[in-house]
Structures are given as structure tokens and as C-alpha cells.
Amino acid sequence: MKDTIIASDFDGTITQKDTLYAFLLDHAPKNEVNRIGQEWIDGKINSQQCIIQEFNLIPNLSKKMINDFISTLKIDEGFLNFNKKRIEKGIDFIIVSDGLDYFIDRILQKFNLTDIKVITNHAYFENEKFIIKFPNTSCQCKVQAGTCKCNIIKELKKEYKTVYYCGDGASDFCVANKADKVFAKSRLLDYCELKNIPYQEFSTFEDISRSIFG
């Protein structure tokens, strides 16, 4: 069995803002985006339905629109140093996201982060249409997430002695009590407080680096 792996959410955790939400607000009616998002939060639709409905609000979506948006994005100010340290120490790292690889892969490439494994939903253009697929679902997922983070962490715990998890939002709620240690901020922190789940607060990945690497 391997020693340690650090798993992390992406949007709003590694990036400074929720990537997909910010993109949608730039190109779709804000009230409709928020209405669909609230239906997901309220449990009226699942995350798969949520993301498809939200992107359907942009009928003229193009590669250029996404590329122009990505060019403006910033990542957590401590993440590059964190990634350098975890490589030096031989600690595995994986991104586990209910977002879209079309965005995540290009953001990682922008910052030359080409050595990171990503598990997320799959999106691509076909005949100028933006297609979204969900290869990481689970029939046992209670919230019917596009990417079942609980199932992924469960499998990681079979392979590693210690599994850390870093997150910030609602898609991280169900996995918060599955990892050996949780680093939380924003809505995930509030959720951990509400549910009495042990956590360590972080603002940037420098905080996580100090905690894990010393």
C-alpha cells in the first residue's frame, strides 16, 4: 500500500474563482444561471442536469469564447509552490472535480501543470456543438453527481494509507467525511462546522503546504 495522496477539488479551490460559474455569468442570463444552480442546491435536479441546462443557455458557445475566458483566469497563489513541493517529496496528487475537462485541462496547460492526473466530466466540441459526458458516475451515488467523489475517495483509500482532501463548495459536501483529513474553506468549511466534521481551514495552498510538508 502506498503512503499518501492529496486529492483536491478544482473550481474555487485551485482556481481563485468558480471557473464554470464565472464563465456562465459572462455569457448567459444571470437570473437563469442562478435559478438552475439553486434547483441543484435544493435537490430538485442533479449536478448532471444542472451543468447541461446551464450550458444550454449559451446556444452560440464557441472554442474562442472559452479560450478568451481562460486567458483571464488566475489560480491559487500558493498552488505552484505546493505542487513543486509535493513532487519533491514524492507525494501523489489528483484533481477530483464535478466540472469539465475542457476547461480544467486548458487551465493546467496555461500554468505548465502537465503532470497532474484529473478525474472529471468530459466535454468536447462536435460539429460546433458542445457535448458533455459523465464517465465517472456511480449508481450508488446518493446525489447523482456527474463525478462521484465519494466513490473515487473510497477507491483511493484502498491504495493509500492516508488520503487528504481539499475543497470549497457544495460538490465537496458528501466526500467531507470520507477522507482522512479535510482542508476546507468557504461553503465546505460552513458545512463541516454544521455537520461536526473535523477539518482544517485554509485560505491558499501555502496553508496546506505548511500543514502537510512542514
Residue 126 resides in a domain: no
Chain segment 31-80, per-residue pLDDT in tens: 999 999 999 989 899 999 999 999 999 989 999 999 999 999 999 999 99
Predicted structure pTM score? 0.95
CATH code, domain carrying 149: 3.40.50.1000
Higher per-residue pLDDT: 92 or 138 = 92
Number of domains the chain contains: 2
For 51, the grid coordinates are 451543468
Whether 87 and 174 map to the same domain: the answer is yes
Count of CB atoms situated within 10 Å of the CB of 38: 12
- Whether residue 46 is contained in a domain is answered as yes
Please check whether residues 51 and 31 belong to one and the same domain: yes
Q: Say which residues have a Cβ less than 8 Å from residue 138's Cβ, sequence separation at least 6.
A: 148, 150, 151
Mean pLDDT of 9-25: 96
Kindly state the average pLDDT of the residues 137-151. 86
The answer to whether residue 39 sits within a structural domain is yes
Pair (80, 179) in one structural domain: yes
Same domain flag for 199 and 116: yes
Are 34 and 113 in a shared domain?
no
Which bin fits 100, alpha (ψ -120 to 50), beta or left (φ > 0)? beta
Within a domain: residue 128? Answer: no
Q: Report the alpha-carbon distance of residue 15 to residue 201 in Å, rounded.
A: 17
Band the pLDDT of 161: cuts 50, 70, 90. very high
> Phi first, then psi: what are they for 182, rounded to 5°?
-115, 130
Kindly state whether residues 34 and 82 are assigned to the same domain. Answer: no
Based on the fold, state whether residues 55 and 111 are members of the same structural domain: no
What is the rounded average pLDDT for all residues in the chain? 95
Do 79 and 112 fall into the same domain? yes
Same domain for 56 and 80? no
Q: For residue 114, what are the domain limits?
A: 2-16+75-121+133-213
152 shares its domain with 52: no
Shared domain for 32 and 88, answered yes or no, is no
